[in-house]
Chains A and B, each alone.
Chain A
Amino acid sequence: MKQKIPGFGVTAWAGLAFLYAPIVILIVFSFNSSKLITVWEGFSTDWYRVALHNDDLKRATSNSLIVGLGAMFFSTLIALPTALAMHGQRKKFPGQQLTRHLIVLPLLTPEMVIAIATLSFFTAIGLSLDIGNVLIAHIVFCIAFAYLPIRARLETIPPSLFEAAADLYATGWQVFRHVTLPLLLPGIFSGAMLAFITSLDDFIITAMVAPPGAMTLPVYIYSMVRRGITPEINAVSAILLALSMLLVLASYLINQKKPA
């Protein structure tokens, strides 16, 4: 019963072109030898060299990576037990339904609201941990992103596996160590990746919360824009894009492994 919709292919390709042409142009112009991003002058990798020698850019990048990796690690660490607790295997606890919604609330709340709330909270308690402030803010909103893939994965695991393990006198820890964790690994990994990418991408919260010297890459690039966008920005964006794509690819490959 395969039905062919006329014009489907053309529409799909047009859609893809519409989505990806700007990115392709961005990458092409990162190899432009001209100072302008709109006029092509010739091929050169100079802008990559300029970008790699820009200390401020390097600092912003390392800030982004520190925050991104930190937020990825801690938010996954919090999201994993949360997902296990929320999953129906255990006894229900009072307010479970409410908690379920609360966890994903950051996904639904406008980012600006979180940003202002976080900023005023940090100011109120006088928290000043330099880049730690940004890290904490990121961990909080990354938890939801790390949590969702883990929970989704958890739901695909048949409960009979846990029951079988329990039947064979496995302790709670053993069940977790030898059954739950290996099966959950792809979910944990994609959760972690999602948290990392979300943290790397974040602009609004970081721009509001960042104390002196803790600017991340997106905030830095944004502040640079008025000076005129040189292909240096393109080069940095291309590097960042390559990095993100590698991560997405890795997460995809790992998720290909179906549960046994």
Chain B
Amino acid sequence: MKIRLLIAALLLTAFCSSTAQAKNEKLYLYTWDTYLAPQLFEKFEQETGIKVITDIYSSNDTLMAKLKAGAAYDVVVPSGNYVPPLVAEKLLQPLPDGLKEFSQGMTKNVQKPDYDPGYAYVLPLFYGTTGLAVNTKLVNEDITSWRQFFERPWGEKPSLGVLDDIGTAMDLASLAVKKPFCDNSPETFKALRALMLKQKPFVKVYGSTGYSERLAANEIPLQMAWNGDVYKVRQQNPRIKYVYPQEGIELWVDNFAIPANAKNPGSAKKFISFMMQPENAAEYSVAAGMMPSIRSAFDLLPEDMKKAPEFNIPEGTIAPPAMTCPAEVVNAYSKIWSELTR
């Protein structure tokens, strides 16, 4: 009897889900865990009748693996440095006509990005920076240089927070030793290795997970950090300050793209166009706590966001974009990194 009930229940769920599918169009969005905006997605559904189904990831590698495995998402949001490998692996389809026009309204930091200057495959959505978060309650000195982060005075207790994103950490270390990103030369590798090994005794955590919490809880005085996260942490702990060191910061861009085996490319186009409307882009920026790529959307942001130091790169700041390094460089970086985290 119980078993019969169970069969009935199972059939019912199967039936319900199949009828629901038939009723309206769907759009499968695979995006960053921080880029969810349920209200905005609902507004899109009301306007177009297309329901947005979201799955989330927290690293570009997860996205890449999932696409390689053939997952049929309609819209994905890769970072700029992952666009060339995704295109090379034929995992993205060229953007349909009618989307490229939006590139004209892009803010100057994301214009003609070197990973896809002609906007053939991707359209920038958000951009941000990786810099240094300083807890002014715990730090008395005036932090202006990456040197102060990488070279701590002898005898200090381990207290630093380093993001465990190898590319990002190496980019910032490259800035500190005044070398370009992905510099393929033995001297640079030597300098990077020396710098990071020297810093190691002062590092409390190599990790990207939960670093916002550690910052907010006054556990970490100096933390390599993403601007959007620092903005959010500062709402909880006003003593946290986002610093643009004199050697520069890393600039990164997250982009809309349509995977090669998307099942609803038409819906994908509608979705991206919707999100590129300035008022929607602004609303999305607020929900995600990120800088919009659309210039006119910035003006629609709430005052505190427009004025936030995290979202205003000071004039003249060196801000090279994150890149995908050649394989030899990646290998050299991994070697240094494994020495650090061993």
Contact = CB atoms under 8 A, between A and B. Distances in A.
B6 A73 contact: yes
> By DSSP majority rule, is chain B's interface helix, strand, loop, or mixed?
mixed
A60 to B, nearest CB: 9
Contacts of A73: 3, 6-7, 10
Counting contact residues on chain A (CB < 8 A from B), the size range is 20 to 34
A123 B69 contact: yes
B277 interface: no
B87 to A, nearest CB: 21
Given A69-B10, A225-B209, A213 B38 contact: no
Counting contact residues on chain B (CB < 8 A from A), the size range is 35 or more
Given A39-B217, A211-B72, A228 B212 contact: yes
Interface in A62-96: 66, 69-70, 73
B217 A36 contact: yes
Interface string A87-129: 0000000000000000000000000000000010001000010
Given A69-B6, A224-B33, A36 B213 contact: yes
B236 A228 contact: no
Contacts of A37: 213
Given A38-B217, A56-B36, A229-B213, A223 B69 contact: no
A38 B34 contact: no
B73 A212 contact: yes
B55 A228 contact: no
A258 interface: no
A226 B70 contact: no
Contact of B71 (A36, A56, A212, A228): A212
A55 interface: yes
Contacts, number: 79
Contacts of B59: 226
A215 interface: yes
Nearest to B236: A35
Contacts of A228: 210, 212-213, 229
A225 B212 CA distance: 11
B57 interface: yes
Interface of B: 3, 6-7, 9-10, 13, 17, 26, 28, 30, 33-34, 36, 38, 53-59, 62, 69-74, 208-210, 212-213, 216-217, 229, 236
11 contacts: A36-B217, A69-B6, A211-B71, A212-B72, A213-B28, A215-B55, A224-B56, A226-B59, A227-B34, A228-B229, A229-B210
Interface of A: 35-39, 55-56, 59, 66, 69-70, 73, 119, 123, 128, 131, 208, 210-213, 215, 220, 222-229
